[in-house]
Amino acid sequence: GNKWFKLKYHIGEAEQQNKKTIATFGGAYSNHIVAAAFACKNAGFTSIGIIRGEKPNIFSPTLIAAQQYGMQLHFVSREDFKNKELLKQHFDTNYYWINEGGFSYNGMLGASEILQTVDTTSYTHIIAACGTGTMLSGLINAALPHQKIIGISALKGHAGLEKDIQ
């Protein structure tokens, strides 16, 4: 669903840059991780998932699916996961990196196309759950002047969300 839209322009950019491998970040239940694994397989990229927290004894359905789509999983402590730039230095310099949740201008641009898939012109309000806010920023970008876009944060105490969306 929405995850493909957020990945679309990242995949396109990685192709343009002739990258072979795409790497990204997420938790053990991240829908972004499993969607990225599938999108990479579909487009012929090797995929790497940097997963928050120590390697679990029993993998979540998300991690099992990501692995089945060929994603190589690397588990890092919650502490180390906070410093993404430092983590990246442990990997090949030629990877194409996608932020956690696809959060970026490219992610927003892809999410802007969600409203083209259904006719929402008669709706006054569009309401969506937010993780990183990438999808919501795309919806805001594409919404018509008479539409009000409302985001509901799924994460507790996500103080920087509004700023991130702006």
Ligand X SMILES: *Cc1c(COP(=O)(O)O)cnc(C)c1O
Interacting residues toward ligand X by CB under 6 A: 2-3, 31, 101, 129-136
CB 12 to ligand X: min, Å: 18
CB 92 to ligand X: min, Å: 26
CB 161 to ligand X: min, Å: 8
Helix (H) or strand (E) holding 130: strand 125-130
CB 51 to ligand X: min, Å: 16
* Residue 144, φ and ψ in degrees, nearest 5: -80, 155
SS3 at position 10: helix
Distances (CA, A) of 122 to 28, 116, 139, 145: 38, 13, 15, 12
For ligand X, which is the closer residue by CB, 31 or 60? 31
For ligand X, which is the closer residue by CB, 23 or 136? 136
Query: Which residue sits closest to ligand X, CB atoms considered?
Result: 131
Exposure b/e, 43-54, CB count within 10 A at least 16 = b: eebebbbbbbee
For ligand X, which is the closer residue by CB, 46 or 99? 99
CB 137 to ligand X: min, Å: 8
Cite the DSSP H helix spans in 44-101. Answer: 61-68, 78-81, 84-88
CA–CA separation, 131 and 55 (whole Å): 23
CA–CA separation, 19 and 156 (whole Å): 36
For ligand X, which is the closer residue by CB, 47 or 132? 132
For ligand X, which is the closer residue by CB, 46 or 128? 128
